[in-house]
Amino acid sequence: MPGSERLRDCKVLRKITEAHAKEGRLCGAVGEAPSVVLETWGLLKGCQVTCHPSFMDQLSSAVAVDSSIQVDGMVTTSQGPALTLDFALSIAERLFGKKMLDEVLLRSMVLVPIANGSDEMEIVVVVDVLRRAKVNVLVASVEDSLEIVAARGTKILADQLIKDAILSNYDLIHLPGGWYGAQKLGSSEQLIALLREHAESKVYGAICASAVMLDTKGLLKGKKATTHPHYSSKLSDQSSVNVRVVIDGKVITSNGPGSAMEYAVSIVEKLLGMEKANHISETMGFSYP
């Protein structure tokens, strides 16, 4: 309530919103805001509107409707915080259309944890290819700051810290290599806990030294994998250590930065199918498989 009252009393906001509405643009409010703010400003006259049940009687110029989400003309209203996601999706559909909204909602989500010492190519190449394929990629730092210094001194800025990133669900988790970076990833209790839960039913992958890290955590048990030749003796299963990219069920591994492109396109194939993988490869001038 205090927040809505402050919005109502902001003269600059009122001037902007009134001009916005006059131009016939979209307007929306949630909870008590439809009655406390938009109704007070006279922007709901004759509109079918919903709001928090406790404030319904204050909709004097509007037609009060008992619904979760109400759309009338250019005005969208919702009853409260529990319906905020539905409200946001309703607004997004009106802005971009149902087809585009459905496309965005159906996009795969990939987590890329990074640390000081992670290999640059094994981060950037994979993230770039996946984003070209319209995959949603979240880069998360396991350090105390968003910025990490990669193996060759390149500074990379993550989207989130791992403590925030673990709150979301992912279709795939990709672990870049770099020996020191891989060890740092392996020391993140939050990341390993997420990986263990994720590995029960979803796809995950690693390049170079991170494949060894997964093996030490028991996350390659019964799986064929590859890693950088320098670390190949450290893998429990030696049967595929000379292969550039290995796919065994829900696990994908790569031997190093030189096969990062092939590995990334393999992820595209795993998530979106061979047709998409071939299309992305062609647009990059890359031969796959």
Q: Which residue has the higher pLDDT, 80 or 146?
A: 146
Looking at the whole model, is its pTM more than 0.85? no
63: β partners: 48
In angstroms, the first-to-last Cα distance of the chain is 58
Q: What is the pLDDT of residue 105?
A: 65
Q: What is the pLDDT of residue 244?
A: 97
Decide if pLDDT at 81 tops 90. no
Three-state secondary structure string covering 99-119: HHHHHHHHCCEEEEEECCCCC
Mean pLDDT of the chain: 94
**Which of 96-105, 144-153, 255-264 has the weakest average pLDDT?**
96-105
Q: What is the pLDDT of residue 161?
A: 97
Three-state secondary structure string covering 252-281: EEECCHHHHHHHHHHHHHHHHCHHHHHHHH
The active-site residue, picked from 39, 120, 122, 269, is 122
Q: Is 230 a catalytic residue?
A: no
Decide if pLDDT at 96 tops 80. yes
pLDDT tens-digit series, residues 103-119: 666 689 999 999 999 99
Give the mean pLDDT of 35-50.
92
Q: What is the pLDDT of residue 1?
A: 65
Q: Do the beta carbons of residue 236 and residue 215 sit within 8 Å? A: yes
Give the mean pLDDT of 84-104.
81
Give the mean pLDDT of 80-97.
85
The token pair at 200 is 């029960």
Classified as helix, coil or strand, 46 is: coil
Give the mean pLDDT of 7-20.
94
Q: Do the beta carbons of residue 265 and residue 250 sit within 8 Å? A: no
Q: Is 10 a catalytic residue?
A: no
Helix orientation angle between 260-272 and 274-284, rounded to the nearest 10 degrees: 140
The active-site residue, picked from 27, 52, 208, 269, is 208
Cα(81)–Cα(31) distance, rounded to whole angstroms? 7
Q: What is the pLDDT of residue 121?
A: 98
The active-site residue, picked from 52, 174, 198, 228, is 228
Q: Is 228 a catalytic residue?
A: yes
Give the mean pLDDT of 111-135.
97
pLDDT tens-digit series, residues 139-197: 999 999 999 999 999 999 999 999 999 988 999 999 999 999 999 999 999 999 999 99
Output the CA–CA distances (angstroms, integers) from residue 136 to 85, 128, 130, 141, 271, in the order listed.
18, 11, 8, 17, 12
Percent of the chain with pLDDT over 90: 83
